[in-house]
Amino acid sequence: MANHKATKKDVRQSAKRRDRNRYYGKTTRNAIRNLLAITDKSATTAEMPKVISRIDKLAKRNVIHKNKASNLESGIVKKITTMA
């Protein structure tokens, strides 16, 4: 365990950030899963901007990589546009 005051503070901060990042990542994954489970096309097109906004926020905060965010978004859009 760290003995310096600043290092102890850094451990506390990183633990708080890790918990926050895990929460936002998990809720975004759940939102993606729920979006892809919807079978009504009009409901998915209404919900899609909210989910894509969440993904963009994760990329902006460096929770996920920007390329991963782009891949997720393109996969969502592709799946919804091919929906019958």
pLDDT of residue 84: 64
Which pair of structure tokens corresponds to residue 13? Answer: 């901060």
The predicted model scores a pTM of 0.85
Third-level CATH fold of 10-81: Methane Monooxygenase Hydroxylase; Chain G, domain 1 (1.20.58)
Q: In whole angstroms, give the CA distance from residue 43 to residue 84.
A: 13
Tens-place pLDDT, residues 37-77: 999 988 999 999 999 999 999 999 999 999 999 999 999 99
Question: Tokens 């097109």 correspond to what residue?
Answer: 45
User: CA end-to-end span of the chain, whole Å?
Assistant: 57
